[in-house]
Structure 1
């Protein structure tokens, strides 16, 4: 186990950009209006458990089907690239039906711990120590919980334009991370 502050911060920023809980505030507010209440604690805990379990079991699942982590990381870099393009350009490449209730399932999965998050976690595992990724997951889950609890206030303070600006900034960061992830892992595939 090798704790590294820089790795932990980088992993935290990657997960923060991929989870995009700030950009999801309009969906969360809509859920709250329809259901009346959001189960912030349950959604955060379930999402955190899903991410940590996938961190440990995801690689075994890949090995079972004959895919190495570097190949998965390269594929994950493409997903991160397209997520970043969506965030920067404000377009939607992948259309998913909006969740209909504010139960744990639509919030924890796919809104918080969705396909992009799971791909990122396995991609991070190819580059960083597990302890740093776990700390990054915990930091993000705490932040997700705080955002879920205060989503109405955040929406009023930032406004639609503010949320849009934050989303674009993290889109650019995510794009740079996708390029770095691709270049680091594509080299490992040819060694």
Structure 2
């Protein structure tokens, strides 16, 4: 047991954690969602920041570990899922860069904390797909550390949404969204190219 724990922590890398953190931060885009949080609150639908971050963390961690079992159930390997994830990240990057809505989010809207804040804004399809896709490149401990840090950021941004509105200009948020769009586009291309060739080779055998 101790050997497993030691081996797990020996894989910790600040560089990998930072890389995974940036990817997840760009996908979740909690700063870009601040106007949505403020709009919900102005309509009398308060958001519990701690509850939103905690539930999102539990859901994402559960999918992070159960995702492999689900993939095996459908006979899908991690490289195939990574390629599919790269395509979804590519589409999300286009949304951010072109100011278009490709993914349509529908569902009940009675509880603002759960719907639409936890799902799909924070723990949405993009975050689920990205978590599984990251397994192809980063050690699990680094992904989990990056995810936990992101949920901390989610809590801070939601709790301080009003402060953000007062102190961070809409122009800056817009520019930041475009910047992360470019980052996501590059990440999707790298994720696709690094997994599609091994996938083709394994299928040709």
TM-score (normalised: structure 2): 0.89
Q: Superposed, which structure 2 residues align to 1:152-167 within 5 Å?
A: 152-167=162-177
Where structure 1 has 5 or more consecutive residues not aligned to the other structure, the ranges are none
Structure 1 position 7, deviation (Å): 1.0
Pairwise CA RMSD: 1.4
- 1:71 correspondence with 2:87: no
Q: Is 1:187 aligned to residue 197 of structure 2?
A: yes
Aligned length: 191
Q: 2:122 matched to which residue of 1?
A: 112
Distance 1:148 1:44 in 2: 9
> Which residue is 2:90 aligned to?
81
Return the match for 1:138 from 138, 144, 148. 148
**8 Å Cα contact 1:38/1:102 also seen in 2:** yes
Task: Report what 2:157 is aligned to.
Answer: 147
Q: Once superposed, which parts of structure 1, at least 4 consecutive aligned residues long, lie more than 4 Å away?
A: none
Residues 77 and 182, structure 1, Cα contact 8 Å, conserved in 2 = yes
Contact 1:58 1:122 (8 Å CA) reproduced: yes
> Structure 2: which 5+ residue stretches go unaligned?
1-7
| Superposed CA offset, 1:108-145 (max 9, x none) | 12110100000000000122111000000000000000
Question: What SS is found at the alignment partner of 2:169?
Answer: helix
Deviation for aligned residue 1:103:
2.8
Q: TM-score, normalised by structure 1?
A: 0.95
Partners of 1:33 and 1:51 in 2: CA distance: 28
Contact kept, 8 Å, 1:86 with 1:93, in 2: the verdict is yes
The match for 2:30 among 21, 26, 38 is 21
What's the counterpart of residue 174 of structure 1? 184
Aligned equivalent of 2:3: none
Aligned partners of 2:171 and 2:163: how far apart in 1? 15
Alignment check: 8 A CA contact 2:34 2:161 kept = yes
